[in-house]
A and B are shown apart, each in its own frame.
Chain A
């Protein structure tokens, strides 16, 4: 089940609080007394049933001798929404949008790419505007746009939002591979289960295919 960014943050905060409690080795009753918060409230926060307020968060962290800002930062990172890096995130999104378009062979003609994307998105009930397309290329598009374009580009929407995790790294490797194949004129490639390969193994496959083409057709001009 997909979750909203807000839900993801709530759950990440709860997870970080549980981790901090475990490290501090404090039970909930003691923690409740130290933080002046009812133990029932703490239980509900830890289970992610109830959002934690800023004041409660500060009190809970103090009771564990934990820095609340560091805990929030870790939680944001865990939720895939790192703090203080909005510019970096934008650049990541710009680069990923470009890579996904290049891998699909669409980057050379962005006007045609827009028309194709708009037609595909409309079939799923999403009206892609020129403004949102430009925002996508600039790394500032809405979640709805990245989701719709993710479907069009056959790339998970989370990847296009700049999320940093192992899955994104694997997708990036696959897209680089696809882009490389486009560059050497490969129009079709079939190999089931290659997605299970590690990045360095995919790079080895890419190098082998390029060498094979060089041998048969001569080096790339």
Chain B
């Protein structure tokens, strides 16, 4: 997380900007209404000129933020330089960028990535996302406590 070089009082905008730099694409966020996403945290897609991140509009403010950061964490893990990882903490295996699987709904159960890889990536992403939420000042001492109160 230190390698993202966030300012001391970073907010979501700072994190988003850091991920834009890392991923190399303009990021845009939007809430999706009227579609129950069930266990899907969010949707990330590369449109011609930007990368869109969509999360459920019905979620609480806290979960909405957590979901957006969760999706950003996927992008961090996908685009971070190799030296951010190590033998102890390897980058989870992911489908090739040019794979058609990226246009299918779920890259699990393919011959390019297994359930085990997917679960490992989700665990790593969720851990990173929660650490980042704690790092951001916006929810430092209020909304997370309100949410879980």
Residues of chain A touching chain B, judged by Cβ–Cβ distance below 8 Å, are 103-105, 154, 174, 177-178, 181-182, 184-197, 201-202, 204-205, 208-209, 212-213, 215-217
Kindly specify which of B58-66, B85-93, B104-112, B130-138 makes contact with the partner chain.
B104-112
Interface residue from A154, A197, A212, A217 paired with B30 (Cβ < 8 Å): A212
Q: Are A174 and B104 in contact (CB under 8 A)?
A: yes
Cross-chain contact B38 with A197 (CB below 8 angstroms): yes
Across the interface, do A213 and B52 meet the contact criterion of CB distance under 8 Å? yes
A217 contacts B47, CB within 8 Å? Answer: yes
Chain B residue numbers with a CB within 8 Å of A208 are: 30, 32-33, 35, 54
Given contacts A194-B43, A209-B45, A209-B52, contact A188 B37 (CB under 8 A): no
Name 8 A/B residue pairs within 8 A (Cβ), A-sorted.
A104-B100, A186-B45, A189-B43, A189-B103, A190-B44, A191-B43, A193-B39, A208-B32
A197 touching B43 by the CB < 8 A rule? no
Interfacial residues, chain B to chain A (CB-CB below 8 A):
28, 30, 32-50, 52, 54, 74, 97, 100-108, 110, 118, 122
Name B's interface SS: loop
Measured in the bound complex, the distance between the Cα atoms of B6 and A72 in whole Å is: 69
User: In the complex the two chains form, is B102's CB within 8 Å of A192's CB?
Assistant: no
Tell me if B40 and A189 are in contact (CB < 8 A).
Answer: no
Among A174, A177, A189, the one with the most B-chain Cβ atoms within 10 Å of its Cβ is: A189
Instruction: Kindly report which residue of chain B lies nearest to residue A180, judged by CB atoms.
Output: B103
By the criterion CB–CB under 8 Å, are B35 and A205 in contact?
yes
Q: How far is the CA of A103 from the CA of B102 in the complex (A)?
A: 11
With A105-B100, A213-B52 in contact, is A177–B33 under 8 Å at CB? no
Cβ-defined contact, A197 with B106, below 8 A: no
- Do B49 and A216 have beta carbons less than 8 Å apart? yes
Hey, which chain A residues are within 8 Å of B28, CB to CB?
212, 216
